């Protein structure tokens, strides 16, 4: 569960489990998004009567010691947002954010000139206090208080002088900004599912004809086609489990009647099975894939799920394929990992415009993706494990910085 997953009005369960199906997020894209303020534009509302400008000196001794000492208790009650910041100074520090309102409040420390966020605490319950840790440097700061279902309020602006560098900050990504990427992914997936249905039909035919070599080839083509969708991590819910589930959770293991889909066929094709049971499984997979395609046409993936997907696909690769937990005899885990890398890049691509101003590691991420691609060809498993381990660290940052947040 990611801490930074932003709340969106109307989204199902802001802290629901991550294994939430894309296809189950039946969200109308048109109903989303609180009105967004263009980045950089000053807030319309301020809690204080006038900006309280507190310019401090360079405070070199504080910075040099790098200690977190006396913390300020800052009010995040929308009507008095940002008051109580008594001791502005550069360096690492911890604020105690107190919500005196009757509703939960999200609080952020922002740069009021750019809208960039240095730190946030979500859903501070009425009457409670939560810590916020940040590193401050030279610059302008203001708290923003976002009450549940109310307008955002920005507190007084605090300016710090000197030369200390502040911690990292980024402008929040709003739901509206992610809609083009989400629509793009929706359309692309629909086309891929159509191709997948052709591949599973061919697999069914090959199995019906009893040609094991042809069936194994058709199985690999179809399975890689599915992996290329980024269907990892339960993206397609129950439909995905029927198509690509393993024996996990099935009391009968590989003989459990609920074991269906690609891995069931893989087990049969690589364990000398050729009876009617295998043919029934092929027919079932064919039907399940076509059903998935029809469902997909009726659904709208949630932007927040898309953002998580970019990390979750390679997390699954690491946890399942590279660990050998999804191999039922074909030994094609590395090819699956390659298809999942395709899917990762496909999901990442439409996020790139959002990342250019928010994620300084973009060029290195692309270099690492290319290296992983090369290593898939020949590298030893430890090298490949390391490549994917590196990718998920970077993509976790991508997912964090692109997490959907309310406009403020």
Partner 1 sequence: MSPVPRRGFLHGVAAAALPAALPDPVPAPLPAPLAGRPPGPPPFHGRHQAAVLTPPARCTAFTALDVTAGNRAELAELLRTLTERARLLTAGRAPDPAGITAPPADSGLLGPDLAPRTPVSLTLSLGASLFDHRFGLAARAPRRLRAMPVFPDDDLDPAWCHGDLGLQLCADSPDIVLHALRDLTRHTRGAMQIRWRLDGFTAPPRPSGTPRNLFGFKDGIANPEVRDARLMDRLVWAGPHSGEPAWADGGSYLVVRLIRMRLEFWDRIPLAEQERILGRQRDSGAPLDGDREDDPPHYARDPKGEVIALDSHIRLANPRTPAGGDQRLLRRSYNYDRGVDAAGELDAGMLFCCYQQDPERQFAAVQRRLAGEPLTDYITPFGGGYFFALPGVRDGADWFGRGLVHPT
Name the residue nearer to partner 1 (CB basis): 10 or 167: 167
Nearest CA to 391 out of 322, 324, 326 is that of 322
Interface with partner 1 by CB under 8 A: which residues? 2-4, 66, 68, 92, 94, 117-120, 131, 133-135, 167-170, 172, 358-359, 368, 371, 382-383, 385-387, 389-393, 396-397, 400-401, 403, 405
What minimum distance in Å lies between the beta carbon of 13 and partner 1? 20
What minimum distance in Å lies between the beta carbon of 108 and partner 1? 8
Name the residue nearer to partner 1 (CB basis): 20 or 135: 135
Cβ pair 164, 127 in contact under 8 A: no
What minimum distance in Å lies between the beta carbon of 140 and partner 1? 16
What minimum distance in Å lies between the beta carbon of 376 and partner 1? 14
Name the residue nearer to partner 1 (CB basis): 68 or 102: 68
Contacts 24+ apart (CB under 8 A), 364-370: 364/394, 365/391, 365/394, 365/395, 365/398, 368/394, 369/341, 369/344, 369/345
Name the residue nearer to partner 1 (CB basis): 53 or 73: 73
For residue 154, count CB atoms less than 10 angstroms from its CB and return exposed for 0-12, middle for 13-18, buried for 19 or more: buried
What minimum distance in Å lies between the beta carbon of 117 and partner 1? 5
What minimum distance in Å lies between the beta carbon of 69 and partner 1? 11
Name the residue nearer to partner 1 (CB basis): 63 or 286: 63
Name the residue nearer to partner 1 (CB basis): 47 or 170: 170
What minimum distance in Å lies between the beta carbon of 397 and partner 1? 4
What minimum distance in Å lies between the beta carbon of 142 and partner 1? 15
| Cα distance between residue 191 and residue 236, in whole Å | 16
What are phi and psi for residue 74, nearest 5 degrees?
-110, 135
Quickly count: other Cβ atoms within 10 Å of residue 359's Cβ: 20
Name the residue nearer to partner 1 (CB basis): 288 or 315: 315
Name the residue nearer to partner 1 (CB basis): 220 or 306: 306
């Amino acid at each position: 569960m990611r801490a930074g997953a932003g709340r969106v009005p109307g989204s199902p369960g802001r802290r629901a489990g991550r294994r939430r199906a894309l296809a189950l997020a039946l969200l109308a894209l048109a109903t989303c998004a609180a009105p967004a303020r263009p980045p950089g534009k000053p807030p319309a509302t301020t809690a204080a009567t006038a900006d309280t400008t507190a310019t401090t000196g360079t405070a070199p001794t504080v910075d040099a010691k790098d200690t977190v000492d006396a913390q300020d208790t800052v009010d995040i009650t929308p009507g008095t947002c940002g008051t109580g910041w008594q001791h502005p100074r550069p360096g690492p520090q911890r604020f105690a954010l107190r919500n005196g309102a009757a509703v939960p409040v999200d609080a952020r420390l922002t740069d009021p000139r750019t809208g960039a966020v240095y730190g946030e605490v979500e859903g501070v319950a009425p009457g409670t206090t939560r810590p916020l840790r940040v590193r401050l440097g030279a610059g302008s700061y203001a708290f923003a208080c976002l009450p549940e279902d109310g307008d955002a309020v920005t507190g007084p602006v605090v300016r710090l002088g000197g030369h200390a560098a502040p911690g990292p900050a980024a402008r929040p990504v709003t739901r509206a900004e992610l809609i083009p990427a989400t629509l793009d992914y929706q359309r692309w997936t629909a086309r891929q599912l159509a191709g997948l249905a052709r591949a599973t039909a061919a697999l069914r035919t090959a199995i019906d004809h009893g040609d094991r070599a042809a069936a194994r080839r058709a199985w690999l083509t179809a399975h890689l086609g599915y992996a290329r969708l980024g269907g990892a991590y339960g993206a397609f819910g129950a439909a995905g489990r029927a198509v690509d589930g393993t024996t996990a959770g099935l009391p009968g293991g590989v003989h459990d009647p609920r074991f269906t889909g690609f891995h069931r066929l893989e087990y049969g094709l690589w364990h000398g099975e050729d009876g009617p049971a295998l043919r029934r499984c092929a027919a079932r997979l064919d039907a399940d894939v076509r059903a998935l395609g029809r469902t997909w046409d009726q659904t709208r993936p949630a932007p927040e799920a898309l953002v998580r997907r970019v990390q979750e696909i390679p997390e699954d690769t690491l946890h399942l394929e590279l660990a050998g937990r999804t191999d039922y005899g074909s030994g094609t885990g590395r090819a699956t990992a390659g298809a999942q890398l395709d899917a990762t890049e496909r999901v990442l691509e439409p996020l790139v415009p959002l990342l250019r101003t928010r994620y300084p590691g973009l060029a290195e991420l692309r270099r690492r993706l290319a290296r992983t691609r090369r290593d898939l060809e020949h590298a030893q498993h430890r090298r490949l494990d390391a490549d994917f381990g590196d990718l998920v660290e970077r993509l976790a940052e991508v997912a964090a910085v692109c997490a959907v947040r309310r406009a403020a």
